[in-house]
Amino acid sequence: MFFCYSGTPVTGCFTLRRPSVVHPSAKNPATSTIVVKSGVEYANAYESMRRVLDAAYLRKIRSYDRVVIKINLCAARPPETGAITHPLFLDSVLRLLRESMDSIDVYVVESDSRVAQPDLSIKWFGFLPVLERWKASYLNLSRAEVVTKKIHGRYLGEVRVPKIMEDAFFITLPKLKTNLGTGITCCLKNQFGCLPEIEKDKYHSHIDDVIVDVNLAMKPDLCIVDAITAMGGELGPGLGTPIPLRTVVYGEDPVAVDAFCAKLMGFNPWLIGHIRKASQTGVGTLHYVTIGNDILAVDPETSKLKMALFRLGSWLNARNSPAYYPDRST
């Protein structure tokens, strides 16, 4: 699947550790493989990716007619803040694909929300030249044709899935950030942004369950986490503190990758609701082995009290707002 060479670990005032396999009582007992590469800068991200994703894996992608890449443009914040996908990171992914498969259709996607207008972010933050250079198309999923997929979900019985994602090789390209509502945002949460509706906040009172349901309907084939500049603090995922982690994490299992990244940010994955529930529902596993570099622990600079109070406030607000109680699908 992958290969990875050893490199120089990140240096800094952190404690060296390797996040380990977690909670033994997950429903899915399988073990996933995660590839970790540290010491990565945006300027050399392509060389790092080229050494990690091997020729056999790229041949697997070539068997598809279309590749869909979900980026993260959740806020109108410069990429240097760690809030959104860095265009140089996307450039590296697209270059790797194009050098191996010139004729395949590649779509870079994001959707609107109450706090995000990706059409503007694409223009403001330097994505258009990247898309043009590598012959990739941008698509706003909020205006895409959709199909309805029935699922046996935790909260939803069906999910509106953008039709372009059907029969495509799906790469999720999340940022690693703290999130007051969910603890962290990474691979699993990135798919929440694939929902085409703008008022996604109607799901916030059931956010962990809905994240799981969305991944049942739109599970990625490959996860590439941009943690070169991560984000910490209580104001994540938009206004938090940039953390120069200089790390990229690869895997095919979004649950295992998120479990690893949660530990990397100082959280217990079992206590992150959507990660635990995704494992229990069978989206993936909490059990993993890592290939690659040792990883340096990072202080996410969060106050557990403030995050708990924020989640309590969100829950109380949800109980007082009918908008947070859509008719449950059956």
Burial 136-159 (b: 16+ CB within 10 A, else e): bebbbbbebebeeeebebbbbeeb
The pLDDT of residue 219 is above 90: yes
Rounded Cα distance between 9 and 270, Å, is: 27
The pLDDT of residue 94 is above 60: yes
> How far is residue 130 from each of residues 51, 134, 142, 181, measured CA to CA in Å?
22, 6, 22, 32
The pLDDT of residue 324 is above 70: no
More confident position, 181 or 178: 178
The pLDDT of residue 262 is above 80: yes
Instruction: Give the pLDDT score at 300.
Output: 57
Name the architecture of domain 17-319. Answer: 3-Layer(aba) Sandwich (3.40)
Averaged over 115-137, what is the pLDDT?
93
Instruction: Give the pLDDT score at 204.
Output: 87
Share of the chain above pLDDT 70, in %: 78
**pLDDT 10s digits, 134-174:** 999 999 999 999 999 999 999 999 999 999 999 999 999 99
- pLDDT confidence of 307, banded at 50, 70, 90? low
Where are the domains positioned within the chain?
A: 17-319
Averaged over 189-216, what is the pLDDT?
93
Task: Tell me the pLDDT of the chain averaged across its residues.
Answer: 82
**pLDDT 10s digits, 2-30:** 433 333 333 222 233 334 333 333 345 57
- 251 contacts 4 by C-beta, under 8 angstroms: no
Rounded Cα distance between 197 and 143, Å, is: 9
- pLDDT confidence of 267, banded at 50, 70, 90? confident
Which of 66-80, 109-123, 223-237, 252-266 has the highest average model confidence (pLDDT)? 252-266
- To the question of pTM greater than 0.75 for the whole model, the response is yes
